């Protein structure tokens, strides 16, 4: 996003923000990519000039490892956590680590992606569907199309043992009444070998090593615009999604600034920033980036983060039984 666009976003938001008495230092831990995290922090600080944001960035697994060590030492540092998935947030909520903020305005959002008690707030929809190489003769519209003979030996997929998005995808699809574990057993029979994360899966399909795969939406959608020989399918059963939720820790040192940060992320301006960064915004009234269908044409598979948390270990053990370690 350009500096001019960031300034416009901040200016639009500032009229409301500056009316609030918010100041001091806000400490943020996030798994956003560096450029996105910097743009988010810059826009927030332009809207709230009396707040200085200090932030740490790494993948969700490493962010949580750092935070767990701080919990053990009795010195958790962040005021706000902005990470990949609701399941991790659900675990923190159950441990009493999150401060509820029920006053946050989530009235425009799908309740299914928000915590009922306001412990965490989804800010994006990073969906997982099907990517295919344009050289493929069979064009999938359903997950079950990947069980057809044309797809045998041609499927790449990230592993839920290493990818958070793949873990959410597995939990969503195996809980779907028309798919379930039978679908994953079918993928194994098709010769699918889960390996690594979304980047490797995307490269295998874009490079023609495989014709089909499961991958997060923005990789093929963005790269198609630059001429990559790929298409992304939102299957008829729906898509799973990691929602990049934000939450205030119960140990926050600056809860008022933390609430302001949540408000900013959920505002129209904060959601437009997400779209400008190339992501599908969670707010239904923000136009998706180029290459995405209208928000009302995207169906999310029903997902219960508490059930996914409770079943996580069993799900991964069953996955290993089907595909091997």
Contact assessment for residue 255 and residue 238, using Cβ atoms and an 8 Å cutoff: no
Q: What confidence tens digit (pLDDT) does each residue in 164-186 have?
A: 999 999 999 999 999 999 999 99
Residue 307: pLDDT band (50, 70, 90) is very high
Spatial separation of the C-alpha atoms in residues 110 and 238, rounded to whole Å: 15
Contact assessment for residue 15 and residue 249, using Cβ atoms and an 8 Å cutoff: no
Residues pairing with 128 in the sheet: 216, 240
Pairing relation of β-strands 80-82 and 245-249?
Answer: antiparallel
Residue 209 has pLDDT above 90, yes or no: yes
Contact assessment for residue 248 and residue 153, using Cβ atoms and an 8 Å cutoff: no
Q: What confidence tens digit (pLDDT) does each residue in 20-37 have?
A: 689 999 999 999 999 999
Q: What confidence tens digit (pLDDT) does each residue in 213-272 have?
A: 999 999 999 999 999 999 999 999 999 999 999 999 999 999 999 999 999 999 999 999
Residue 146 has pLDDT above 90, yes or no: yes
Q: What confidence tens digit (pLDDT) does each residue in 53-95 have?
A: 999 999 898 999 999 999 999 999 999 999 999 999 999 999 9
pTM reported for the whole predicted model: 0.88
Half-sphere exposure of 92 (CA within 13 A, CB side): 30
- Work out the mean pLDDT of the chain and round it to a whole number: 93
Torsion of CA 293, 282, 310, 129, to 10 degrees: 20
Number of helices (H), then strands (E), in the chain: 11, 11
Number of Cβ atoms within 10 Å of the Cβ of 81? 27
Spatial separation of the C-alpha atoms in residues 217 and 140, rounded to whole Å: 15
Which pLDDT belongs to residue 195? 93
Region of residue 118 (phi > 0: left; psi between -120 and 50: alpha; otherwise: beta): left
Which pLDDT belongs to residue 13? 44
Residue 277: pLDDT band (50, 70, 90) is very high
Q: What confidence tens digit (pLDDT) does each residue in 91-115 have?
A: 999 999 999 999 999 999 999 999 9
Tell me the three state secondary structure of residue 207. Answer: coil
Spatial separation of the C-alpha atoms in residues 226 and 273, rounded to whole Å: 22
Higher pLDDT, 324 or 116: 116
At 278, list the tokens.
């190339």
Which pLDDT belongs to residue 2? 38
Higher pLDDT, 295 or 146: 146
Q: Which positions ≥6 away from 289 have C-beta within 8 Å?
A: 221, 275, 276, 278, 279, 280
DSSP-derived secondary structure for 25-48? EEEEEE-S-HHHHHHHHHHHHHHS
Which pLDDT belongs to residue 8? 43
Of the candidates 149, 150, 146, which has an alpha carbon nearest to the alpha carbon of residue 131? Answer: 146
Contact assessment for residue 268 and residue 251, using Cβ atoms and an 8 Å cutoff: no
Contact assessment for residue 73 and residue 292, using Cβ atoms and an 8 Å cutoff: no
Residue 137: pLDDT band (50, 70, 90) is very high
At 289, list the tokens.
């980036």
Spatial separation of the C-alpha atoms in residues 97 and 248, rounded to whole Å: 9
């Amino acid at each position: 996003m350009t500096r001019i666009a960031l300034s416009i976003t901040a200016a639009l938001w500032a009229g409301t923000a500056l009316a609030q008495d918010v100041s001091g230092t806000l400490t943020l831990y996030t798994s956003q990519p560096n450029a996105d995290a910097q743009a988010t922090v810059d826009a927030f600080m332009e809207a709230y000039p009396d707040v200085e944001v200090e932030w740490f960035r790494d993948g969700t697994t490493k962010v949580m490892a750092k935070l767990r060590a701080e919990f053990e030492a009795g010195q958790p540092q962040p005021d706000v956590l902005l990470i990949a998935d609701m399941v991790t947030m659900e675990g923190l909520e159950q441990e009493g680590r999150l401060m509820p903020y029920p006053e946050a305005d989530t009235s425009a959002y799908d309740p299914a992606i928000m915590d009922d008690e306001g412990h965490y707030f989804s800010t994006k929809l990073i969906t997982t569907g099907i990517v295919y190489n344009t050289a493929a003769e069979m064009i999938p519209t359903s997950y079950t199309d990947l069980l057809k003979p044309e797809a045998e030996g041609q499927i790449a997929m990230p592993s839920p043992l290493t990818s958070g998005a793949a873990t959410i995808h597995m939990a969503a699809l195996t809980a779907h009444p028309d798919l379930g574990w039978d679908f994953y057993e079918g993928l194994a029979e098709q010769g699918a070998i889960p390996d690594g994360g979304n980047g490797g899966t995307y490269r295998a399909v874009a490079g023609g090593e495989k014709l089909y795969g499961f991958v997060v939406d923005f990789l093929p959608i963005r790269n198609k615009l630059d001429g990559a020989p790929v298409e992304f399918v939102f299957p008829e059963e729906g898509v799973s999604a990691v929602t990049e939720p934000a939450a205030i820790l119960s140990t926050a040192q600056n809860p008022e600034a933390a609430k302001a940060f949540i408000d900013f992320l959920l505002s129209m301006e904060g959601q437009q920033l997400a779209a400008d960064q190339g992501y599908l915004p969670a707010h239904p009234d923000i136009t998706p980036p180029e290459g995405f269908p209208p928000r009302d044409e995207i169906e999310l598979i029903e997902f219960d983060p508490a059930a996914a948390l409770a079943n996580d270990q069993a799900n991964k053990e069953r996955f290993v039984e089907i595909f091997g370690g």
